[in-house]
Amino acid sequence: MKLLHIDSSVLGDNSVSRQLTAQTVAQWQARHPGLEVSYLDLAAQAPSHLNADSLGFRLPAGSAELSEVQKQENAISEALVSQFLDSDVIVVGAPLYNFSIPSQLKAWIDRICQAGRTFRYTANGPEGLAGGKKVVVVSTRGGKYSISEAARAMEHQETYLVTVFGFLGIRDVSIVRAEGLSMGDAVKSEALASAQAEIAALA
């Protein structure tokens, strides 16, 4: 079994999502001997955002018609999508930034959403090609967005990730949530205890 561990928080050692993804991966390692883990720190090494040179595989990688920049961008996208497809479990640290996910996590998603590799279009609509995987989204939030309809309408983090992975054919998506982290020590402690209980149950 292969697990891909992804962090996207820019807060380093102060990041709660990084602490919780590390705990999640440690639980999987403890309960699944022989688990192979690869690590991707998107805050330290994020792919560039999509542009005219990195948008899709227009020509084969060895084609003389590709510029050197396009060949380099193709190689980055190929490495990321191959790593993703080769993984059985993906643990994603996804803090809420301005009602959505960090831009570096979005840049990674844009690289792995490749027609013909992770999804395809058919006469009946899009079809995901990356099914059979387990995704654990470690969701952290300074406020509380799950407690009311108005707050849920402002959240484009968990809902977006579930939609994207579902589009790629992955239905087994679990959310480990710690919210209210900026609402005082008592609320933070309760949120962390709840998230840690969810992590223990998942592995």
Question: How many whole angstroms separate alpha carbon 9 and alpha carbon 49?
Answer: 17
Residue 60 has a pLDDT of 59
State which amino acid sits at residue 35.
Answer: L
Residue 17 in 3-state DSSP? Answer: helix
Locate 132 and state its tokens: 């059979």
Please, what are the domains in the chain? 2-202 (3.40.50.360)
Per-residue pLDDT of the chain (203 residues; tens, 9 = 90+): 999 999 999 999 999 999 999 999 999 999 999 999 999 999 999 999 999 888 865 555 566 678 888 889 999 999 999 999 999 999 999 999 999 999 999 999 999 999 999 999 999 999 999 999 999 999 999 999 999 999 999 999 999 999 999 999 999 999 999 999 999 999 999 999 999 999 999 87
Strand 172-178 to 134-140 pairing: parallel
Helices (H), 86-170: 103-112, 149-153, 158-167
Question: How many whole angstroms separate alpha carbon 22 and alpha carbon 28?
Answer: 10
Contacts of 100 (CB under 8 A, 6+ apart): 106, 156, 157, 160
Question: How many whole angstroms separate alpha carbon 182 and alpha carbon 29?
Answer: 30
Locate 72 and state its tokens: 């380099």
Contacts of 173 (CB under 8 A, 6+ apart): 135, 136, 137, 161, 162, 165, 166
**Backbone φ/ψ region at 57: left (φ over 0), alpha (ψ -120 to 50), beta:** beta
The answer to whether the annotation marks 135 as part of a ligand binding site is no
Residue 23 has a pLDDT of 98
The answer to whether the annotation marks 58 as part of a ligand binding site is no
The answer to whether the annotation marks 142 as part of a ligand binding site is yes
The answer to whether the annotation marks 9 as part of a ligand binding site is yes
Locate 133 and state its tokens: 């995987």
Residue 67 has a pLDDT of 85
The answer to whether the annotation marks 17 as part of a ligand binding site is yes
State which amino acid sits at residue 8.
Answer: S
pTM for this structure?
Answer: 0.93
The position carrying tokens 């983090």 is 157
The answer to whether the annotation marks 16 as part of a ligand binding site is yes
Instruction: Specify burial of residue 156 (Cβ count, 10 A radius: 0-12, 13-18, 19+).
Output: middle
